[in-house]
A = this chain, B = another copy of it.
Amino acid sequence: MSGVFAARARSQGKKIRTRAGLMDAAAEAFARTGIEAASINAIAHAADVSNGTFYNHFRDKDEILAAVAFGIARDFAERIDEAMSDIEDSAQRVSFGTRQFIALATSEPTWGLALTRAVWALPELRREVETFARADLDRGVRDGTFRVEIDDLLVDLFMSMVLMAIYLRASGEANEDIGARVAEHQLRLLGVSPARARRASHCDWVPLSITGSSQ
């Protein structure tokens, strides 16, 4: 039952471990029942601590939500960033990012779903994640790969496609290749030719593997 946060905190002090346990339990609850329906009592219970302990670590649900969501976002961003450090082609970078993001959300559905739920409750989170994606979009425009103007709206639409894909995958409505297909659509939206979009988004790749691997 110990999740990713707990795994990271295994060698830390007790306070940090308890906190991580709460965050894992919260991520799980947010993913499974949604943010509103996840009660603090249930989170504490799932983390195997008493309800009062929750309040030694977080002021309220908003606070743990932010900690969980930004924690997940940062972790995803770091893992993806690192994995694509040697990719030069902008189209490949963007499609790789999308595919990895969706793959991560799939292989760790708890985190993936929690993230999609949180993104609507925390506008700053959306902007945080978008900032990360935007770097490669801007790069692609500079090197002539993309033929559109990158503005906030475009990035938001870009994001909405990824979120929808995660949702579809998590709800069992889509299968494994959805990442590649979404990436292909995104590239076309960015003005990449259909042929190149297809090529860049369906190339071989290695999905980031399991939990805690980046540590």
> Which residues of A does B touch, CB under 8 Å?
34, 36-37, 120, 123, 147-148, 152-154, 156-157, 159-161, 163-165, 167-168, 171, 173-174, 178, 181-182, 185, 188-189, 191, 194
Contacts and interface: CB of A to CB of B under 8 A. Distances in A.
Contacts of A157: 161, 164-165, 182, 185
B153 A182 contact: yes
A70 B120 CA distance: 22
B156 A164 contact: yes
A191 B184 CA distance: 12
Nearest to A164: B160
A194 B147 CA distance: 10
Contact of A185 (B120, B152, B154, B168): B154
Q: Number of copies of this chain in the oligomer?
A: 4
Contact of A153 (B34, B147, B181, B189): B181
B189 A189 contact: yes
18 contacts: A36-B36, A36-B37, A123-B171, A147-B194, A148-B188, A152-B173, A153-B165, A153-B174, A153-B181, A153-B182, A157-B182, A160-B161, A160-B163, A160-B164, A188-B188, A188-B189, A189-B189, A191-B194
A173 B173 CA distance: 31
A173 B36 CA distance: 24
A188 B190 CA distance: 9
A145 B147 CA distance: 21
A36 to B, nearest CB: 4
